[in-house]
Structure 1
Amino acid sequence: MLSEPVIILGEPPQAGLARPAGRSGHVSTAPAMSVEIATPERFFTIEREWRDLTGRALAGNAFMEPSLVAAAAHADGVRVHVLLAWASLRPGEPIRLAGAWAFACRHPSSDIPVQVLKTPVHGHAGLGIPVLDAGLAAAVLAQMLDAVAEEPDLPKLIEINGFDGEGPVASLLMDELARRGSRHVELERRCRPQLVKGVAEAAPLSASRERALRQKRRRLARSGQLSCTVHCTQDEVHAALDEFLALEVAGWKGKAIERGHAIRRELALEAFFGPALDGLAAHGLVRITALRSDGRPVAMQVTIRSGATAFTWKSTYDEARRDCGPGLLLLQDVTAALLADPAIGAVDSCNHRDDGYMAEFWSGRKPVLDMVLDVRRGRTLGFSLLSSSEFARQWLKAEARRVHKALRVATGRVSSAIRSLKRGEAGSGQTQVAPPGAAQSRDQTSGRLPR
């Protein structure tokens, strides 16, 4: 089992990188590169190099941030390996970090008894792409896959969840897998809302929708003084996170039901989110926005960032104020603030699907998918077993969603029919009382004398 950083495919970073000689004996002009298989603790110590990489990245991914990776490893007690690619562009130049990709050794989502490298490293993380130097991305990705293939103590099967299906990293990975002859299977394809400045920003709302939102804001304001607060420092984030967890557990997620997934209900989740956000806050990479009524939060949003990409990670609201739509109102405020921030170029909603209020408020869509791959060349028994089990799991999930939707529709129709029946029974059971003189009037009209 790997416990210390391992350098493969090159010289150790501390000693510099040797340039391989070409066939003619001349020094190659290709960048010298090596891949280090590091621990989360080692990754945490190269903050300066990592921060420099995020400024050169082909695509940003806050879920590869060192503090988040370390928090996941500590909270879950799983082995986490971080592939760190080091490169020197020209002879005599210092090496620099050219890529980072973190994996957790776990059972696959289908839970068959094999070990895979799973990314992102935590179930509540939303994006599994590596962070690659834009100028060296293809070479770095190839070296990373070689590193996994050649290290005997690492699993050779990789499961990637929340993979950016049409981003620049996706095309590089598909090209590299084809070049290697490595097998891969794409699983669930879906879209989720996103913002891209200048391309896909806030979606236009109808006049009636705008009017309804203004009415909700006025209704909420009648119950207390409204304010919107933003919490960014470590102390502020710590206090705001405590408010967030209390608000979340008070709602449906905190109830003792199967679907309840409030963070505070699970010690491992709280042990992950606290340190992860604390570490991000130390570098100004998290903001918690709260919509407050007389100082008390009625809706809260956690947003994290890496490079120029922000991720709206978690949100919650006071369900007792549901009729005022506090979550909707906060989403309006957060969207406007993100689009006005010059440091942010794109925002990922982190939604699993293209639904919910973000799908209404944000015009952009990010295609994402889950996939499994084998870093080895050709077909292997292990990959055949993994891909078959994952296909079966995806089919069962799709069928469960279909049946659940059908049951909801049927339940709604039955409930509507019962309500109509009750209204009919109530109407037929009422006694019709004739006003005074009505009988006499009828008899006179018919020409008969009253008895």
Structure 2
Amino acid sequence: MTSTGTTTATGPLAPTGAVRARTVRLGDVSDAEAERWADLVDRALEPNPFLSPAYLLTASRWLARTAGIVLVVVERDDRMIALLPLSRGGRFHGTPLRCATTAGAFLKDDSPLCAPLVDAEHAATALDHLLRFLADRRNGFPPLVELTLLPGDGPLHDALHDACRRARVTLLERSRFERAVLDRSSAAPPPREALSPSKRKQVERLTRRLEEATGATLRWEDRGEDPQAFQDFVALEAAGWKGDAGRDGGALQVTPGAVEWFTDVTDGLRARRSLHLLTLVAGDDVVYMSLQFAAAGSLFSLMDTYDERFARFSPGVIGRVMEQEHVLERTTADRFDPCMHPKNAGPTALYRDRRPLVGVVLATRGVLPRLLLRSVPALRGLRTRVARTPREIVEDAT
């Protein structure tokens, strides 16, 4: 592992032994280190399979746009307790200061969640050392660090804000939106009952007609443990409109390197029993498929597809509603995230719950970066910064 900087501490923040932070280029991670990284995914305060080695590390083998990603890792003894991927950004919104960002060429387009991996058991220690490392100019990071697609509530959100207060790091919230999810703890009615009356009747009518057309009852199969199932997914997707390169469908088969990369992704997640490929079938016909990743008690559906022979029955609508019912009835997942942008209003309306996602910028050191953050006119209305006294600001400048 290539390190570009290290800080070590043995004070009260370290539970046992020394805690250290360092950087490593994504392509330099060894097999043993990747295994420790994968273990952290299973212990993360905020579940995020898109920062797992099965997803991110395998991308570096096939996709050139991962070049430049540096991992900031915090370790205690031989255990990773935090991991944050960063890329060099440009100048921050017209200021003379540069920033590091999670929204690099790869993650901004291919990761629907960029929440750093933080050990749930040692969250305060991990975040304190992460911020301390980023604040040390000897490590080569600029004083502004942009974190995108973070949860706008929950334990990681609270832990990060608390750590910024302890470190006297200014935090500015740049963006916020709500994304559709399914939360087991929600007090809302079951997924089908939570639909509007007209939408519920439509789903039931389409389901009946699809079953009549196929002569079979719809049922789910989880084919996550079958390597051939992913190849079937790729073929089904390519056979539909997404496989038409002229229509910019974006199917895996028409995107250079995507099939090879996702074959690695699914193989890696399958080996850790973290892959589900839900397949909605009617007799011998595959109607709809949804690729799900599991992480620390949550499920994420990054992509789905359907057989366009059944397009008149809206199999995507039927599949998404029945998928939610399957998650609640046949799994123990606390949350299901379909990773759907809210601009997709129709599909978003099929989900009863919402979760806020935010983008923030941290001013990790120096008075000037903090003042510049406060002076950006376009961000004034969205600013949520850590409360600091005039005395603290003066002490920082000395």
After the TM superposition, which of the residue ranges 32-41 and 297-306 deviates more from structure 2? 32-41
**Deviation per residue, 1:80-99 (Å, 9 max, x gap):** 222222226xxxxxx53222
The separation in 1 between residues aligned to 2:187 and 2:244, in whole angstroms, is 35
Are 2:238 and 2:251, in contact at CA under 8 Å, matched by a contact in 1? no
Change (3 A) 1:311 1:29: closer
Change (3 A) 1:253 1:170: farther
Identity score, percent: 19
Task: Select the residue among 218, 221, 227 that pairs with 1:229.
Answer: 221
The separation in 1 between residues aligned to 2:103 and 2:179, in whole angstroms, is 19
In structure 2, the residue matched to 1:217 is 207
Q: CA deviation at 1:137?
A: 0.9
List runs of 5+ in structure 1 lacking aligned partners.
11-17, 89-94, 395-451
In structure 2, the residue matched to 1:45 is 32
**Deviation per residue, 1:287-339 (Å, 9 max, x gap):** 12233456454422111111111112112334553330101111122112211
The separation in 2 between residues aligned to 1:57 and 1:381, in whole angstroms, is 30
Determine which structure has greater relative contact order: mean sequence separation of CA pairs < 8 Å that are 6+ residues apart, divided by chain length: 2
**Deviation per residue, 1:106-145 (Å, 9 max, x gap):** 5589899966332585222111111212232122112112
Are 1:34 and 1:86, in contact at CA under 8 Å, matched by a contact in 2? yes
Are 2:41 and 2:49, in contact at CA under 8 Å, matched by a contact in 1? no
In structure 2, the residue matched to 1:361 is 350
List runs of 5+ in structure 2 lacking aligned partners.
383-398
In structure 2, the residue matched to 1:399 is none
In structure 2, the residue matched to 1:188 is 175
Residue 99, structure 1, aligned to residue 91, structure 2: no
Are 1:180 and 1:377, in contact at CA under 8 Å, matched by a contact in 2? no
The separation in 2 between residues aligned to 1:346 and 1:168, in whole angstroms, is 14
Change (3 A) 1:340 1:110: farther
The separation in 2 between residues aligned to 1:19 and 1:384, in whole angstroms, is 33
In structure 2, the residue matched to 1:282 is 271
In structure 1, the residue matched to 2:110 is 124
Q: CA deviation at 1:198?
A: 3.1
Equivalent position amino acid for 1:165 in 2: G
In structure 2, the residue matched to 1:176 is 163
Are 1:73 and 1:80, in contact at CA under 8 Å, matched by a contact in 2? no
The TM-score normalised by the length of structure 2 is 0.77
Are 2:178 and 2:356, in contact at CA under 8 Å, matched by a contact in 1? yes
Change (3 A) 1:260 1:342: closer
Query: For the aligned residues, what is the CA RMSD?
Result: 3.8
Task: Select the residue among 345, 352, 357 that pairs with 2:341.
Answer: 352
Are 2:3 and 2:24, in contact at CA under 8 Å, matched by a contact in 1? yes
Matches within 5 A, 1:110-189: 116-118=100-102, 122=107, 123-150=109-136, 151-189=138-176
Q: Secondary structure, in 3 states, of the residue corresponding to 1:9?
A: strand
The separation in 2 between residues aligned to 1:70 and 1:64, in whole angstroms, is 8
Q: CA deviation at 1:197?
A: 1.6
Q: Secondary structure, in 3 states, of the residue corresponding to 1:98?
A: strand
Are 2:176 and 2:356, in contact at CA under 8 Å, matched by a contact in 1? yes
After the TM superposition, which of the residue ranges 46-55 and 128-137 deviates more from structure 2? 46-55
Equivalent position amino acid for 1:329 in 2: I
Q: Secondary structure, in 3 states, of the residue corresponding to 2:147?
A: strand
Change (3 A) 1:279 1:184: same
Are 1:44 and 1:70, in contact at CA under 8 Å, matched by a contact in 2? no
The separation in 2 between residues aligned to 1:133 and 1:28, in whole angstroms, is 13
Are 1:110 and 1:390, in contact at CA under 8 Å, matched by a contact in 2? no
Q: Secondary structure, in 3 states, of the residue corresponding to 2:72?
A: strand
Q: CA deviation at 1:178?
A: 4.0
Q: CA deviation at 1:271?
A: 4.7
Rg bigger for which structure? 1
The separation in 1 between residues aligned to 2:353 and 2:280, in whole angstroms, is 25
Matches within 5 A, 1:310-349: 310-319=299-308, 321-349=310-338
Number of residue-to-residue matches in the alignment: 369
Equivalent position amino acid for 2:79 in 1: R
Change (3 A) 1:333 1:109: farther
Change (3 A) 1:168 1:246: same
Task: Select the residue among 6, 9, 14 that pairs with 1:8.
Answer: 6
The separation in 2 between residues aligned to 1:111 and 1:263, in whole angstroms, is 37
